[in-house]
Amino acid sequence: MSKIEQICLRNIINSNGKWAVEADVIIENAVYGRASSPSAILAGKRERRITSHLINSNGSDIKEIIKRFEGKNYNQREWDCLLEQNLEKLGTDITLALSLAFARAAAKETGIKLVEYIRTCAGITPSSTVLCPLIPIFSGGVHDPQKGGSMQQIMLSVSEIPFFNAVDIILEFYSRFEKKLQMTHYLKGYAASSGFLTDNLSAEDELGMLTKAIEESGLQKNLSIAVDIAAEHLKEGSLYRFYNRLYTAEDLEKKLLKYVKDYPITYIEDPFDFNDIKNWEHLHKVLDKNVKVFSDDLSATQICYIDEKNTDGVIVKMKQVGTLSSTLDLINKARKLKLKTCISHRSIETEDTFMCDLGVAIGTDFMKIGGPRRGDRIDKYNRLLRIFSNVDYA
């Protein structure tokens, strides 16, 4: 149990040049934890869409609620339950920041690393210490509306390599690919996650270029392609606008199956809208078992939406549920269903790195932290490097 002495809320700047919420939770003996909340460019329809008020002089209603939390003892589960009871008024931004700040303070108070604290809260023993980073190479979808319904991410998947070695590969691969796009004049900018935005390239062009780069690396056993269709955002009535053409769900499935046949794709995320659940189930059934289907907008980090009949794994985004405890409940449920997990950043980030400790604590199968560019993404790479090098003192 930890007694909360004081709670401080403030606005900080996020990676989109807008306001984000940061919380300090101070417990006995002046021990404190600090955390902030990320957000999405465009939230999924099943995501808890409650957003917080800005923390300013007019936030007297929020300050009144927070004041009632002080001077009392809590464990993580009790604290998170209290936050969830006030979710409608506080919003998911404030709720998540307070939940994670308390976790950091409680870990410090008990003298254990945050990774160990999370494991204790979850009751989880990780089955693996080798996570698979998914690195955005080509970005589109809501990151580049001009491309007319393109995939949100075409990513490089780095598997079965210790993180230190994986980062070496990522840095070299990303740099070489960036230079190639610059030299061919295809590069027009960078997405929020540091994936490349391109001009005049089709899906087949991009998949072909990435396939060739993987072959040239000589690391075909460890490198493959992961795609995030983000199909919910492509839906127009009963059809999908995919690279400026309209497809039925069945025709889109045929397209994806052809991509799997033609390119070294091992991971497909959100291939359909959540209303087309029969297509989810059919694709999951007919795909080669080496190709994993993951849900993000379908499951939105909520237990009630996960189903092993239509996916192999779930994306985990703490902001979608608002507390650490609810996130761990989802992870434990996924494990019982033998589903894989992918801990993921959001499009709009802060320098907070809690997701890295969470991923290592549960032994996540995959992790999305963005490309090796921009401070908000580099913070997460460096946090993982510190954890895996056993020089984590936080």
pLDDT greater than 70 at residue 50: no
Q: Give yes or no on whether 2-110 and 122-388 have one common fold.
A: no
- The model's pLDDT over 293-332, given as tens digits with 9 standing for 90+, comes to 999 999 999 999 999 999 999 999 999 999 999 999 999 9
Residue found by looking up tokens 């740099």 in the block: 175
Give the C-alpha distances (Å, rounded to integers) separating 278 from 307, 330, 338, 341, 382.
12, 23, 21, 22, 41
Reported as a single tens digit per residue, the pLDDT across 348-379 is: 999 999 999 999 999 999 999 999 999 999 99
What is the separation of C-alpha 58 from the centre of its chain, rounded to a whole number of angstroms?
A: 32
Per-residue pLDDT of 151-189, as tens digits, reads 999 999 999 999 999 999 999 999 999 999 999 999 999
Q: Where are the alpha helices (DSSP H) in the chain?
A: 60-69, 76-85, 87-110, 114-122, 163-183, 203-217, 249-262, 277-286, 324-336, 354-362, 375-388
Q: Which segment of 87-91, 250-254, 307-311 scores lowest on mean pLDDT?
A: 87-91
Give yes or no for residue 393 having a pLDDT over 70.
Answer: no
For the cut 90, the answer to whether the pLDDT of residue 49 exceeds it is no
The CATH code of domain 2-110 reads 3.30.390.10
Domain spans of the chain? 2-110, 122-388
Question: What is the C-alpha to C-alpha distance for residues 147 and 153, in angstroms, rounded to an integer?
Answer: 12
Answer for the pair 26, 6: CB distance below 8 angstroms, yes or no: yes
pTM score of the predicted model: 0.95
Q: Residue 190 forms beta bridges with which residues?
A: 196
11 phi/psi in degrees, rounded to 5: -95, 140
Indicate the CATH number of 122-388 among 3.20.20.120, 2.60.40.10, 3.40.50.300, 3.40.50.11810: 3.20.20.120
